[in-house]
Amino acid sequence: MSQTQLTFKRVLVNRAIQGEGVRPSKSHFRTITVTEPVPELQDNEVFLKNLSFGHDTYIIYNFPEGETESRVRGYALSRVLDSKNPKLPKGSLIFAPSYWEEYTHLFEPFFIRQAFPVDQHKFYDKYKDRIPLATYNGILGMSGFTGWGSLEVSGGDLKPGQVIYIPSAAGTLGQLVGQLLKRKGLKVIGSAGSQAKIDYLTQELGFDFAFNYKEHQDNKKAILQEGLAKIGAPGGGLDIFYDLVGDETVDVALELLNPRGRVIAVGFLSNKLLEDPLYGIRQYVQILFKELTVVGHAVWEHFELLPRFFEEVVPLVAEGQIKYRENVLEQGTLEQVSDSYIDFIEGKYTGKVSVNLASTKEE
């Protein structure tokens, strides 16, 4: 018996990077139409219809160098059309490392392990009308889970009055982490790349102090010291540095951390292509002198915490107690997925960017 064929669209990329610092641009992508057989699934595999793509910086790390074209691995909210995986049943709505295409056969064990059903948590039905689908790409998806989980697992003994600094505070993780810590009574300092983002952080999210890092490239230490004085930091310096950038900001933070302070390492936005080498830290010695704790957080090691994340954070988001900005391109095309990705990594948006595909939209 012949297999059913499916015709659909897919994005291909070739990074064509010649030399350090050359970044992918819109011209590195092309959208093609393919006809392929509907897959016959093996154990644990799923076949997906992709509904909404959510951008994340590290999609870029998977782009091939040179002239080779490949599919783009990108996070998506997808409907499970067929399943041989009891954890991802047929008909469910899942968040998964999919591909930029309309239909995806997810078969790699490493990626299947990172997929999770979003419509099976305790509050999904209760808040369905208040939470748009795409929000499960962002503050209620992998990004939000990383932010919440990093505090649960790697936050240490969080106490009211402690001071934390979050660079890239207007990003998806920064927005959530800042607000979760304000709720615990910490003092929160943030930085971001425009005045509009700074206003958002201080006026809407309640950050205690925020600055535009692009205007303070050469005097980050001074502006942070100014902020610490302004908010009356009890220990004089920082208690926690929440690292999302991995650049020279780390050195500034190491200098400004109080004795027995903490670094939570979660992202390295400064290194968009995973260039070698990463920024070399100069103030490493502060870890010894001040007995600092430096702890990394990798979301994929903590999926067992997902039910708790949904239980705690979904009601806060649905009830408006946690605010967030996200960008949803409705009636989107695959071409818009790649175009908006380049705009996204250039910092043109505040918060998560999602593209809801018109071609696979469900009523």
Name which of residues 144 to 173 contact ligand NAP (CB under 6 A).
146, 167-168, 170-173
Rounded CA-CA distance 243/263 in Å is 7
Q: Which is nearer to ligand NAP, 137 or 258 (CB)?
A: 137
CB closer to ligand NAP, 49 vs 297: 297
Of 222 and 298, which has the nearer Cβ to ligand NAP? Answer: 298
- In whole angstroms, the minimum distance from the beta carbon of 352 to ligand NAP comes to 6
Q: Give Cβ neighbours of residue 58 (< 8 Å, ≥ 6 apart).
A: none
Please say which residue, 105 or 220, places its beta carbon nearer to ligand NAP: 220
Q: Helix, strand or coil for residue 53? A: strand
Could you give the CA distance from residue 340 to residue 347 in angstroms, rounded to a whole number? 11
In the numeric block, the tokens 């205690």 are attached to 208
User: Any idea how long the chain is?
Assistant: 363
CB of 124 to ligand NAP, least distance (A): 22
Residue 337 within binding range of ligand NAP, rule CB under 6 A: no
Q: Are 12 and 69 in contact (CB under 8 A)?
A: yes
Q: Which of 6, 17, 39, 57 binds ligand NAP (CB under 6 A)?
A: 57
Query: Which DSSP symbol is given to 278?
Result: P
* Closest to 36 (Cα-Cα) out of 12, 13, 3: 3
Distance CA(186)–CA(329), nearest Å, equals 35
Using the contact rule CB under 6 A, the part of the chain among 81-89, 217-225, 235-243, 266-274 near ligand NAP is 266-274
CA distance 44 to 49: 17
Does 58 bind ligand NAP (CB under 6 A)? Our answer is: yes
354 binds ligand NAP, rule: CB under 6 A: no
Which residues bind to ligand NAP, rule: CB under 6 A? 56-58, 142-143, 146, 167-168, 170-174, 192-194, 197, 213, 244-245, 266-270, 297-299, 347, 349, 351
